Structure 1
């Protein structure tokens, strides 16, 4: 008699969990009306629970603030946060930018707030200093400068 009760209990638990799993998969799915400004999206499972939404940007651009999101069991996409941890609602494709150059005992021009792919700078040293490295550098599509770091070295040796 005890064996029959145990078997019945196991069957009840198994059927209950199968019913619950089926309902989660059938009811919950995430909104497919998701976009990224300047790019496209790709979905791994068509918006079903567990789907991965990947943001795709053109060459020279990157998805901000996240490159992907996950469809949660509650039918919502995972949140996107900026570096300050604030929630961002709309993704966008941003251009890679090169860091602002610097040089001691010299100057560079043009001096700009930011540099994007194709922007160039030229370096000059103060009187009495010799330029080592690249005289001019161009910001590449990946957000890095071409050439080698410019340094002004004391000309008196």
Structure 2
């Protein structure tokens, strides 16, 4: 409160004698606020909500004065984003339990006895660009799938023995000596009651005119076939890559006979991809097996290292509720080590719904793009 007359004929006063009061930081659950200065009188802040929530009220507030006290003139709140009830399916049911669904929750479908589930059994409540709750994808279908017993003349089954084949059953074949396989050795029963690829045939091995030309070349790699040579059915060539490149695809292909008795190579040509990762990627940053949770499980393969970008989903046993983020993602700590993105969730008793947290913005956007 004092000022002093200096020998310079100027008054000296404490410049901080009167300072602006500051507002208390606002407490907004499931949200935050952005500011660039101290929260003093006159400051304006912008509110934002966490992923899965939307703002109710005005997005900005100002620190104002009333009765010589400062306070925020507006404090909105962040409400969870709901999804409509999950779609019903014929000949099956979901695990919804007739509950309300909000962002991050999931339902899993099962089919009645005798029906096969076609599609992803689990869908999640996520958000679109307008911050409206939507399901991550369409529900699966429950269909009766029956494929005919596949038989190959002059050949035999190596796996998939039986007389009844339903969705995703596979069968592997082999030709008798003196015959060459024409087509894929392994076929799968698909949802349209057909085998994919088509069931192969076993053709006689002597086709003097069924010759393959030189195998295709690959960039940054080579094969062991003789250049400018025709290859008879059954001939095999092996590919390998130059140093610094890794082979992607089948390492070997063989000459086979097509339905027109012409020689063709059995598989697509492999590729040699550079071992140097693109900027921002760390393919060698592996994560160890995800943490286990009491009264729950995840969909990761036990005893397996997980590459950068891998995602695992947790769910709880019946009678337990998942608390926390239900999806973990393998992220790179550095070039050689990976870590899981968040702490594992918990499975707490007292509820019978499956709640799966979705890894924030990136995973939600990925699901919407799919």
TM tier relative to shorter chain: 0.3 to 0.5
TM-score, length of structure 1 as denominator length = 0.48
Is the helix fraction higher in 1 or 2?
1
Higher normalized contact order (CA 8 Å, seq sep 6+, divided by chain length): 1
Is the strand fraction higher in 1 or 2?
2
Which of structures 1 and 2 has the bigger CA Rg?
2
TM-score, length of structure 2 as denominator length = 0.24
